[in-house]
Homo-oligomer: A and B are copies of this chain.
């Protein structure tokens, strides 16, 4: 507990307070016993950070989280104006992924990061298709019962994407319920998460599609 306190004190000068919303869960992330070769160290829970202005700090380190899939809604299939252009690379923090794998539910504190990437080209030596171009933005969903008591599933949504095409914002305020949560609640397969589009998640629960890692 000493190091988080030091971090909180150090960061308070920047107007950032560490929110330890995940501390009750036991972390067993990354430990695989079936193959000794693949054994990984234990991963600490990810701690989101809110500023004193109530804005969420853009999560860091998600390049090392669990990638769950990459839906694609290209502009050229959506009259030039896709709601989420164009590739969506989606990550979930490792401790919440492991909890989901074990219990089949999204724990309080789950963080989902959606990185938006443009279509760079539609042809390569592997064939015709869609190939990634440049980063366009970052969006986040956070499940937090205390912070979002009245939101569907207690999920809060945040958009760090710069609408003018610049680098993503460092902080973002919560999106209105109607902007994100309403649609997620109505159309996502499971607790506002689009499990139907993520074979990694279906395999984690062994629903129809067993992960190659496990067979």
Tell me if A211 and B135 are in contact (CB < 8 A). yes
Docked CA distance A135–B131 (Å): 19
Q: Which of A69-77, A102-110, A147-155, A171-179 contacts B (4 or more CB under 8 A)?
A: A69-77
Chain B's nearest CB lies how many Å from the CB of A189? 11
Q: Which residues of B contact A10 (CB under 8 A)?
A: 36
Interface residues on A, range: 35 or more
Does A165 touch B at the CB level, under 8 Å? Answer: no
Does A24 touch B at the CB level, under 8 Å? Answer: no
Q: Chain A at the B interface: mostly helix, strand, loop or mixed?
A: mixed
Does A28 touch B at the CB level, under 8 Å? Answer: no
- How many copies altogether? 2
Chain B's nearest CB lies how many Å from the CB of A37? 5
Does A193 touch B at the CB level, under 8 Å? Answer: no
**B-binding residues in A (CB < 8 A):** 3, 7, 10-11, 18, 30, 32, 34-44, 46-47, 49, 58-64, 66-67, 69-74, 77-78, 82-84, 87-89, 91, 94, 115, 117, 120-121, 124-135, 137-138, 160, 167-168, 183, 186-187, 194, 196-200, 203, 208-213, 215
